[in-house]
Chain A
Amino acid sequence: EPEVTQTPSHQVTQMGQEVILRCVPISNHLYFYWYRQILGQKVEFLVSFYNNEISEKSEIFDDQFSVERPDGSNFTLKIRSTKLEDSAMYFCASSEPPGLKTRDTQYFGPGTRLTVL
């Protein structure tokens, strides 16, 4: 069964450094998402991406964050100048093209645990 993959599984960085989290969505999916989950808290939406542009973003997704689809398979989240409060699990998700009932199903990757020291 196809699945979303994410690398690395764990990233440790120093405060102020830049990190890039990588995701490979399911191949025929066209909607891509990033979520984060601070330890012990709920999953929070960061951004959605469709047709090579951001379609929606939350107030968490400020100028520190950016997303990119550098090629036909990867989807990345860049965090510039990381802060201590950026420490969280970051999940990538993808969903099918619009117009299909299963568009409503978002499939999550295993996550990248980001630790900012």
Chain B
Amino acid sequence: DAKTTQPPSMDCAEGRAANLPCNHSTISGNEYVYWYRQIHSQGPQYIIHGLKNNETNEMASLIITEDRKSSTLILPHATLRDTAVYYCIVRVPSGSARQLTFGSGTQLTVLP
């Protein structure tokens, strides 16, 4: 799986958009970008994934650069409950080894 780089922490004002960056310059052509988050003392929660097109769901939007070397997770209207560690993971979705390799992630703190 390709290595990812994320800032260790970010703050965001409640109600504003939270933009979380992720660098994955060694991503290969068949690897997807996944985002998970982990609220304190809970298990990780899937947010969104994408290959090369921008994706949006009820939780967030994922913007992947054209060269696919970086991406941004956007929480359009952050709430206090969005305070969590956000993990960007790059991997091939299929295959026998489908475990997730978690990096250090970004601690997002949403401020009132």
A binds B: no
